[in-house]
Amino acid sequence: MLTMKNISKVFKTDLVETHALRDFNLEVNEGEFVAVTGPSGSGKTTFLNIAGLLEGFTHGDYFLDGVNISNLSDNKAAAIRNEKIGFIFQGFNLIPDLNLAENVEVPLRYRGFSAKERQRRVQEALDKVGLGARMKHLPSQLSGGQQQRVAIARALAGEPRFLLADEPTGNLDSLMARQVMELLEEINKAGTTIIMVTHDPELARRAQRNIQIVDGQVCDFTLYQGGQAHVAQTEQKVAS
Amino acid sequence: MLNIKPILSTLMRSKSGPVLLLLQIILSVAIVANASFIIHERLGMMQRDSGIVESEILTFNMYNFDPSIDRVQQNQLDQQLLRNLPNVMAATSTNMLPLSGSGWSSTLNLGPDSETAQSTPQFAMYLGTEHTLETLGLKLIDGRNFYPDEINTSLTASGKLAIVSKALVDATWPNESALGKVLYEGEDTQITIIGVVEKLQGAWIDSGDLEYSVIQNVDWGGRSYLVRALPQHHAELKQAITDVMLKENPNRVIDDFQSIKAVKESSYRDHQLMVTVLSMMVVLLLLITSLGLTGMVMFNIQRRTKQIGTRRALGATKADILSLFLTENYIICVVGGVLGGGLAVLLGQQLMQHYDLPQLDLLYPIMTVLGLLLVTTVAVVLPARKAANISPAMATRSV
């Protein structure tokens, strides 16, 4: 599903070069639920941005669904983001001036769906997250958990095969975080591949696999089954 | 268009900025449409064909203070001396200067009975000689010029003839030839029309009767003269005329040399000033409006940086972002344009009532709105392109 080979990302200024990712290798299979953890500044967000085609990389190869997306044009990248990838952001990133239906409709409009098809998908997606009756409400009229559910509905409406979640429960209290996690698990069970960046080890444990990034490299990964560590091994050692 | 509905929702939910811009556009359209109309109307006035070769005609005044001279003889001698000067193509005396704002005007009856006869419109009454047509560069389209022996030296002399402008003929005898027609000054004095010139304007540029003119066969002489020569000879002719006139008779004053072109420019100065002021106002208003648009777009880009990044992350192309800002501003521009167009018509009606202006042509509000769409495009495209270049990675940044 997703294969990264020797991906490097270097941010350059006049004075300093920062290696955000170094020889980063990763393979995620279809239908997996992968949690990505690591300390602040370790490269988690850079990895997520590259995986989601939100920014490019300096070296290496990246295959998504078998397609090498190393040298994609801006428009092609936008089309892949729109069709294959769903995004869930820590701050929800809903558009405050649009109501829930209009927010969920945003990626569908870029996809070029007819009004009828958009309406069907919006209704379905909002029903799925339990907010089908509040389509005309504005984001500001919802709680944080509800807003994140709208963001999940927006990510799901385009029926992506791949969901990228950036700290999806980071701004939520524990009850709402649990609800959102249950929703993500449900989505994953339905067949959608999920990669979730999180600081929370408890949440990471609920994924099938936990990848830890340190200093821009995959430090180790852990396989979980039923909430218990099943296998643990080091894939790469951080160059000292 | 693809995104009109959500854009309208956005505009309706954050009204203050768009409403202020809308008001600015409404006022701009109303003012610019009327100002453009007035500018066009004034430019049209200034560009009217007077029928005469304005740049080639040099005019001057001569004041005789010697009571012993025979004014008629002196006048004829002076005119001959003028015609003999090098580079002079023609010269004649006149009682008034075209387009100068001052002169003679009259109406004449079409029949002998002043009680019952209809009369001509008000016309400018030139007194001239057989040299007048050539000096002014008038185009004779019917009849003939005066013969030298037909020129009188007094307004009361008999045998009065006239050459009239075609506009006067059309207004007085539509679809008829004017040749041989008689105009009456009271019961006894008759003026017979012998020629028609294509065009000859009078002295009063703001008058509705400007195009109506009559030249009578009277060598009025003694004060104002018209000399035709190419413009490059005017400077040397001023000195030559002064020299030859003073040599002939030193007891007089010669001054007020100017071309008819300068006379015209002086008469139209107020109109030119209005055109300049209104043009500056139009440019300033369009500039302020475009700055307003640019300012609002830049403000919105700054306010919506994360939103733009999110849209890009969700699949918007750069063209989609450009289109978002253009559509948003086109909506404001079109709504403002329609309301401003309505206000322009109302304003035009008020100006028509109070300032004797013609009715506003609807083309002007329409053209103003089209112009505004162009201004909007220019004002929005540059900042919107900046917005389109916002990275989709902005969506994951905490800004």
Count of pairs with CB atoms under 8 A, one residue in A, one in B: 87
pLDDT(A116) > 50: yes
Sort out which chain A residues have CB atoms less than 8 A from B391's CB and list them. 54-55
Phi, psi (degrees; rounded to nearest 5) at A217: -135, 155
Question: Which amino acid, residue B19?
Answer: V
Residue A224, domain CATH: 3.40.50.300
Sort out which chain A residues have CB atoms less than 8 A from B392's CB and list them. 52-55, 78, 81
Beta strands in A79-216 (DSSP E): 85-88, 162-166, 193-197, 209-214
Question: What is the model's pLDDT at position B399?
Answer: 55
Q: What is the pLDDT of residues B3-31, one digit of tens each?
A: 788 888 888 887 888 899 899 999 999 99
Beta bridge partners of A209: A34, A223
Residue A116 lies in a domain: no
Say how far apart CA B306 and CA B312 lie, in whole Å: 10
Q: Check if the beta carbon of residue B224 is closer than 8 Å to that of residue B91.
A: no
Q: What is the pLDDT of residues B124-154, one digit of tens each?
A: 999 999 999 999 999 999 999 999 999 998 8
Structural domain boundaries enclosing B125? 66-250
Residue A132 lies in a domain: no
Q: Is A55 on the interface with B (CB under 8 A)?
A: yes
Residue B109 lies in a domain: yes
Residue A214 lies in a domain: yes
Find the closest chain A residue to B3 by CA distance.
Answer: A109
B289 in the same domain as B383: yes
Beta bridge partners of A164: A87, A195
Beta-carbon contacts of A98 under 8 Å, excluding residues fewer than 6 positions away, are A106, A138, A139, B6, B9, B10
Residue A147 lies in a domain: no
Closest CA to B64 of B225, B259, B234, B216: B225
* CA torsion through residues B170, B176, B177, B180, sign: negative
Sort out which chain A residues have CB atoms less than 8 A from B312's CB and list them. 54, 78
pLDDT(A121) > 50: yes
Residue A21 lies in a domain: yes
Task: Render B123-167 in DSSP notation, one character per residue.
Answer: EEEEE--TTHHHHHT--EEEE-PPPGGG-BSSTT-S-EEEEEEHH
User: Cα–Cα distances in Å, from B327 out to A111, A169, B4, B10, B395?
Assistant: 18, 35, 7, 12, 23
Q: Which residue has the tokens 């071309």?
A: B259
Question: What is the model's pLDDT at position A230?
Answer: 46
Q: What is the pLDDT of residues A64-103, one digit of tens each?
A: 988 888 888 999 999 999 999 999 998 899 999 899 999 9
Structural domain boundaries enclosing A166? 2-92+153-233
Q: What is the ipTM of this complex?
A: 0.90
Residue A200 lies in a domain: yes
Say how far apart CA B388 and CA B398 lie, in whole Å: 19
Question: Which amino acid, residue B200?
Answer: L
The model carries a pTM of 0.76
Residue B259 lies in a domain: no
User: Number of structural domains, chain A?
Assistant: 1
Residue B42 lies in a domain: yes
B371 in the same domain as B230: no
Q: Which residue has the tokens 């849209």?
A: B311
Determine the 3-state secondary structure of B316 from DSSP.
coil
B329 in the same domain as B201: no
Q: Check if the beta carbon of residue B199 is closer than 8 Å to that of residue B167.
A: yes
